[in-house]
Structure 1
Amino acid sequence: MISHNMSWIKYPSQSLDTHISIEEIIASQNIISRFMHCYIALFVPTGLIASIFILIIFIKNYLRHNALENLDLFLFAYAICNMITILLSVTVITRPAYLKVTHLGCGTLSFFFNVSYFMSQYLLVLMMITFLLARYPSRAALITSATGRPMLCVGFVLTCAFCISLVVVALLGTDNYHIETDCQLDPLFAWPEYEIVKFTFGFGLPSLFQILCFIPFFVKEAQPDVPSLRQNIHVYLAVLTIMASTFACCLFYNIMILSRTTLKLQRSIGTPKNELMMNIAEIVLFSESCVSSIFVLCLHKQYRHGIWTIIKNLTKICRRKETTSNPPEIPETEIVVTSLHSRNRSH
């Protein structure tokens, strides 16, 4: 693959081009700033709290039962990916400015972000394959035996995400690795092939596999009375809701990624509107990670029951502390009577 010199590319808001009006830059920066404040204030705390609750409930259930369903383990791994994405997304706190790090530091942040991004997409594919096998239990015995080892499946998905992330980060280039730059988790200075490979392996192929698994899931030849389907209907509802929201947010994000690639191929830095839309798409993608964790917590029966149990235990602890800190008051009349009795005894 031919090396590209991307030193010419800049953000429109930082360009000295006279064709870009200052009013347009100020307007777009105001919108980006509002989106950032809304995301940091609302989505980040709720997403992190939901992810932490999922981890606590999963570990608690695992210690209690010593065995869990495949989909529960996949949702646990998915929640970890969401938590990593949310933590990395805090880098948007500098918007409308950008994080100032070296090319090497930006590449490192991009690598970890891409690992969690690819892994979350492939975990959804894995969940959909599990759905399909539950719908057709008598077919594909080899695949069924493979998915029967959830830890092995998660390890395989992590390996694939790790390898593809290495390929994608290699497309950032190795020039000027020690020079400070403006950093996004999908860096602007990346080669055009970066966006193309990320779109292909991070959205195109996973979405295609999900659709191919989704279609036969609802055909008439399926067995609607399979016990596992009836017992785990809450899990399927949670995963299908996550898939729908993920597809919508990732579609918008990847459209913006490809539009940025088009500008690079045309050797154009674009307009402040292009920069605005890319920043909005990035925040929407991060918000989806927060919302997905909330969906898992609210729609999955075990997690929903677990969160209510945690809330009840916390309220009980608070009540105990109140009763110990505020001892029961002795009525004044009772104090007078006891004092009179003591005086009579003394006489």
Structure 2
Amino acid sequence: RMLSHNMTWISYPSHSLDSSIKIEDLIASQNVISRFMHCYIAFFVPTGLIAGIFILTIFIKNLQHNLKKLDTFLFYFTISNIVMILFSFTVITRPGYLMATYLGCGVLSFFFNVSYFNSQYLLILMLLAFLLNRFPSSTAVMTKAIQRPLLCVGFVLACAFCISLVVVSLLGTDNYHKVTNCQLDPLFALPEYEIIKFSFGFGIPLFFQIFCFILFFVKEAQPEAPTLKKNVQTYLAVLTITITMFACRLFYNIMILSRTTLKIHKSIGTPKNELMMNIAEIVLFSESCISLIFILSLHKPYQAGILKI
């Protein structure tokens, strides 16, 4: 019954025939969106892609050495973020939108969500790896699992794939052959789409991240805890990535939930609502670029690799 909800009434304020929307507000909103898009494409995209390429190159060059598990997780995290940056090229059309069929937009949204969830869950995996590296677990299963990074990455990817299937199924099946304005999080999605994406893409991962940090600080406060001097740069890299991802995705998810509220009240919103959603989307993509820069500049093996290059 959920899949049969009719969302054909919804449209972007910039494409609406609603006479209550002022032209001045619309023009001002589109100018701001356009400037944000040009700034992101000109500065963040090249910097993020260059940082990502350097990270992948250094990792491949260091394969003959005894790499740490965290380096392997950072490698796959980098790939996931590069894919996110590639998806961000969809914002080039702003303040307009891509034109695609409902089905094509759903397929695009699916692969975007796989990358979105994957990078979030890989961060949790990195936090666990760092925690278990400093404070080995007494649980044999947990220790063995972390010792096999490829298995862990495969499990994370499988989880991201399954959750993306669930999320995309909430786009509905009506008018799949018709052409519409397409965003990576489609406007025509059912309200449940945003709620589930918030839960599995931000709420639940945030709980695990907070749990990891609490556990880390509790164990670090114990007198017998090993010194952090050798791992301080790795700790700073992971901490900085976590804070960056939290800040950017918090704003994005607030806007996602705001859009859900409008849908529930059968409202298309105002040009300001559309502006904030577009800014949130660009901020989300900027986070992928910034995270790659932090990995390259803060993680010691990559610092050494850059100097060699």
The alignment's C-alpha RMSD in Å is 1.2
Equivalent residues in 2 for 1:64-103, closer than 5 Å: 64-65=64-65, 67-103=66-102
Q: Is the 8 A contact 1:74 1:127 kept in 2?
A: yes
| Corresponding pairs, count | 306
Partner of 1:43: 44
TM-superposed CA distance for 1:131, in Å, is 2.4
Over alpha carbons, which structure has the higher Rg? 1
Instruction: Report the counterpart of residue 264 of structure 2 in structure 1.
Output: 265
2:21 pairs with 1:20: yes
1:140 is matched with: 139
The more displaced of 131-140 and 17-26 is: 131-140
Alignment of 1:304-343 (within 5 A): 304-310=303-309
Per the TM alignment, residue 222 of structure 1 is displaced from its structure 2 partner at its CA by 7.0
Task: Determine if contact 1:168/1:198 at 8 Å carries over to the other structure.
Answer: yes
CA distance in structure 2 between the partners assigned to 1:70 and 1:134 by the alignment: 9
The match for 2:114 is: 115
Q: CA deviation at 1:176?
A: 1.3
Q: Which residue of 2 aligns with 1:183?
A: 182
**Does the Cα contact within 8 Å between 1:135 and 1:222 map onto a contact in 2?**
no
Q: Hey, which bits of structure 1, 4+ residues long, moved more than 3 A?
A: 229-232
1:190–1:216 Cα change, 3 Å: same
* CA distances 1:84-130 after superposition (whole Å, capped 9, x unpaired): 00001001000000011111111111111101110111011111112
- For 1:17 and 1:309, the matched residues in 2 are separated by 60
Specify the SS of the correspondent of 2:62: helix
TM-score by length of structure 2 reads 0.96
SS at match of 1:28: helix
Q: Which residue of 1 aligns with 2:236?
A: 237
**1:172-218 alpha-carbon deviations (Å, 9 max, x no partner):** 11111111111111010001010001000000000000001111201
Q: Structure 1 unaligned segments of length 5 or more: list them.
A: 311-347
- Give the distance between the partners of 2:15 and 2:41, measured in 1 at CA: 24
3-state SS of 1:218 partner? helix
Give the share of equivalent positions with the same residue, in percent.
Answer: 70
Contact 1:257/1:278 (<8 A) preserved: yes
1:105 corresponds to: 104
C-alpha distance in 1, partners of 2:255/2:223? 38
Quote the offset at 1:135 in angstroms.
3.4
2:109–2:168 CA contact under 8 A, matched in 1: yes
CA contact (8 A) 1:100 1:181 kept: yes
CA deviations 1:156-180 (Å, max 9, x no partner) are 0000000101111111111111111
SS in 2 for 1:232: helix
Which one-letter code corresponds to 2:213 in the other structure?
F
Deviates more, 1:96-105 or 1:25-34: 96-105
Check the 8 A contact 1:11/1:269 in 2, yes or no.
yes
Residues 136 and 223 in structure 1, CA contact (< 8 A), matched pair in contact too: no
In structure 2, list runs of 5 or more residues that go unmatched. Answer: none
In the TM superposition, what is the alpha-carbon distance from 1:141 to its structure 2 partner?
2.9
Normalising by the residue count of structure 1, what TM-score does the alignment of the two structures yield? 0.86
Q: CA deviation at 1:230?
A: 4.2
- Contact in 1 for aligned 2:134/2:226 (Cα 8 Å): no
Shift in Å, 1:237: 1.3
* Distance of 1:6 and 1:47 partners within structure 2: 36
Preserved CA contact (<8 Å) 2:137 2:143: no
1:309 deviates by 1.5
On the 8 A contact 1:118/1:202 being kept in 2, the answer is: yes
Secondary structure at the counterpart of residue 180 of structure 2: strand
Shift of 1:231: 3.4
How far the C-alpha of 1:134 sits from its partner, in A, is: 2.6
For 1:292-341, what per-residue CA distance to the aligned partner results, in whole angstroms no more than 9, with x for missing partners?
0000000011111112211xxxxxxxxxxxxxxxxxxxxxxxxxxxxxxx
- C-alpha distance in 1 between matches for 2:298 and 2:186: 35
| C-alpha separation in 2, matches of 1:210 and 1:29 | 36
- Structure-2 change in CA distance of 1:153 and 1:222 (3 Å): farther
Equivalent position amino acid for 2:269 in 1: G
SS at the partner of 2:200? helix
Distance 2:289 2:223 in 1: 34
Alpha-carbon distance in structure 1 between the residues aligned to 2:32 and 2:224:
50
Is residue 212 from structure 1 mapped to residue 214 from structure 2 by the alignment? no
